[in-house]
Structure 1
């Protein structure tokens, strides 16, 4: 994550500490300048899109909070997680643009920790929603009575506490460190570099491998169950499931692999020549661009595809912008009415 591998060149790994022998990579300046411009623009775009989409999700769910269930509560917290994540991006945008951390030690710890909490809580709530769908579709007769608002609140608190616990090293060990040649960077000091390995482990295992295994395992059982149901929209829901898994894997896996390659490079396990240096550095920058857009896609994948949520969102937009949204609302209602056939179990699980 940006908070974790933050430095003055591209926010992902202290490359200046890497030993490349008696020379520095000849074209590393070009990669550095590209990273600064690219990340500054990327962070700004993700902030705008993520804030707009997730903010609308929060507004809709707050307005209809009296009708909420476990799915709505998870959606609400998923949107909050993504908002917490995107709120840290303007700081990293500034850091990428000027080439150093300019907000002091306290903000370094706060932003880094908040960035991680938003990342992990978002992943964890997606896992909870996956498990909930699995239980309500495959074992609907067993779990219906346990899907209460009280149980949802307890589960929500546990997820946020787990996210805070996993992110604690950022609050404790990361510091604003002054470097003679690079200014100030927000990173782990030398005596705490071991926590970089911990962060890499948690990002790869808790942020990718385990969630992906849960999604694949649950949805591989859900899909055959759905296909055996007599519901007109089962194929649409199967496509939605495939989109959820593919979007998560394709957006996050390349970034996690790039961070792991950087770790192997620092440990001297893979070549430490100029070509590898620049390729890994550029790979982290580019794959991050794809990974960070996932928080912008979450409202689309998990909320706006659902007919009930879309209807509520359009009603809210109609009140906020009556002239602009009238035609959109009417046409969307017509499409929604055509697509609103399906079984109660399926709708309850995927209405989002």
Structure 2
């Protein structure tokens, strides 16, 4: 092949790469902005409503309630970072290295916090249903233990999220980005394997074991309808698995074979699955509303109270208007009566 042919082939390859890169950018920007914005708006609203219902209306009475409040708190902390990622996807990272460290750290903190909390909810349900006749602990002691476990989970989650707080940095490539810059490839692979193992695969194995045992116990029990609350946990765990599994599997492939990073198909799949993984934080309140009887009851109570408050406000405004009209009518009559008499 001649030199000119080589040069033409090179220009063709470069042009094709530029076209693919431009097409990828046109896809990723609107997709990520829409996903992040939707998750943030609905997630913050839903999880804030969960906290309002559990803390102010229903009150935190059981260990499961404590864990669900902790889960909603973790989701809120994570969702608060999405506006930064949305802007970074649309333009570039402009918030500096400190914000990069905090925001990437919050994502990992939420990952561990959510997964470990769900694992604890599963274990608590396991003891409450399968080991009900063997474990006799008062409700007050169970609540104290639940709060202590939640504090411990947050400390553990913070410890495992520390590499993101330490090694995340702002860097300039085609545009300014926020990413983790580890000192060696071995360190990066070790941290990713630890995150996937302790933050996803191990908890899922524990959940599968506990729930298979719970299902077996419930099928043998006569009062299966008494355990409707377990369906909430089933739905939450299933949703978390469906949203988190694809992303974690792609990360596992990346650890095993680094050459996959040069695949444009892998980049598309990673962006889509990562956005879906972020999206799980706004799904839990939806599950509470459609499945949880207690949640629906308190939500209806809040809506009813808001409606009553608006009705009282409207009635008060009407009463004020009528009083003012009455006063104006009386004043008008007085004026007419006065005008009939000469001064």
- Give me the TM-score of the superposition, normalised by structure 1: 0.76
Question: Which residue number corresponds to residue 299 of structure 2?
Answer: 313
Match of 1:93 among 46, 69, 86: 86
CA RMSD of aligned residues (A): 2.7
- Partner SS state of residue 139, structure 1: coil
* 1:136–1:144 contact (8 Å) kept in structure 2: no
Indicate the SS of the match to 2:183. Answer: helix
Match of 2:50 in 1: 57
- Aligned equivalents of 2:294 and 2:58: distance in 1? 14
CA distance in structure 1 between the partners assigned to 2:34 and 2:80 by the alignment: 15
Aligned residues: 295
Task: Find the aligned partners of 1:257 and 1:36 in 2 and give their Cα distance.
Answer: 23
- Which residue matches 1:333? none
| Distance in 2 of aligned mates of 1:60 and 1:243 | 20
CA contact (8 A) 1:70 1:149 kept: yes
Tell me the secondary structure at the aligned position of residue 283 of structure 2: helix
2:176 aligns with: 184
Query: Which one has a larger percent helix, Structure 1 or Structure 2?
Result: 2
**2:168–2:181 contact (8 Å) kept in structure 1:** yes
Equivalent of 1:289 in 262, 267, 275: 275
Q: Any idea what the Cα deviations from partners look like across 1:265-301, whole Å, max 9, x if unmatched?
A: 42x3x5x76xxx1110000111123222221122233
Q: Which residue of 1 aligns with 2:32?
A: 39
Does the 8 A contact of 2:193 with 2:252 survive in 1? no
Contact 1:47–1:87 (8 Å) recurs in 2? yes
| Residues 147-226 of structure 1: pairs in structure 2 closer than 5 A | 148-177=142-171, 179=172, 181-189=173-181, 191=183, 194-226=186-218
* Cα separation, 1, equivalents of 2:47 and 2:60: 19
Distance 1:186 1:289, change over 3 A: closer
Aligned to 1:336: none
Query: Does structure 1 residue 74 correspond to structure 2 residue 67?
Result: yes
Kept after mapping to 2: 8 A contact 1:57/1:303: no
Name the SS for the 1:143 alignment partner.
coil
Structure 2 portions without partners, runs of 5+: 1-12, 312-343
Distance change (3 Å), C-alpha of 1:105 and 1:146: farther
Alignment partner for residue 131 of structure 1, among 123, 135, 143?
123
> Which has more radius of gyration?
2
Q: Unpaired segments of 5 or more residues in structure 1? A: 1-21, 326-352
Match of 1:104 in 2: 96
Q: Give the deviation of 1:142 after TM superposition.
A: 3.1
| Structure 1 SS opposite 2:176 | strand
- Alpha carbons 1:53, 1:299 under 8 Å: kept: yes
Once residues 159 and 182 of structure 2 are traced to their aligned partners in structure 1, the CA distance between those partners, rounded to angstroms, is 23
